[in-house]
Structure 1
Amino acid sequence: MSNFRMLLVAALALSPALALAQAHSHGAEHGGQVQKIGSYEAELVVKGTDAMLYVLDDKEKKVDASKFSATAMVLAKGNEQKTLELKPASDNMLSGKVDFPVEGKFRATVTLKTGSTEVGKGRYNVDVTSR
């Protein structure tokens, strides 16, 4: 069998697996943006001065937010970098107050931690909605 045919057969064999992996992804339940952080999925939502991070496990189940903390490095108005602490608020949500102005989209790199161990980072670019 030629190399081209072997590649074609391999590509066709993998295509159902790729389609299944894409079908597994879900939309943002709370209207924000979902990013993979470590083995978790985290949705960032910004409404007015409230930033909320909803955390799900790899089976898309809510996790206990009391076991997590997060820090968001945010690009504020005038290209100034600000730090926002996100703390457990309820169920699977961490939250914090945005006490600085942001131009356009809310651009942030979120570091998720469990205890003092870093789980991973996610980059977000979300719209700020009014309440």
Structure 2
Amino acid sequence: MSLLDREEETQRVLINAAMMASDISCRTAWRRYTEYTGMVDQFGISAYLAGLVALPVEECNLLAHAVNELIDERPPPLKAPHRGPTPWSLGPTSGGEHDKTRDELLTRWLMDTSAETRYRWEQ
């Protein structure tokens, strides 16, 4: 396996990993990719992601860019809040829009998921 083949395979695997970690479908990634003048059809992108075909480096980079843009558009993950003053929370507070976004995400999560989903126990 040449260095170029190894780099291509690494990029393909990492694009797949990023899509899976961010719950981005192939169809969604392909749509964004075509908005950036991507020339490969959805079947070709699926075949590339499955490791069945190679794509020109420009097309791979365009797909990576599309996936990264989709990831950047996602809201940040919800973090566990602290109660009361803590050494790391005594600095200036962000408040405002950040708190509103957090509250909206929390409300959506509580209203749109079942208790079984919210409290999954690993066995």
How high is the TM-score relative to the length of structure 2?
Answer: 0.26
More strand by share: 1
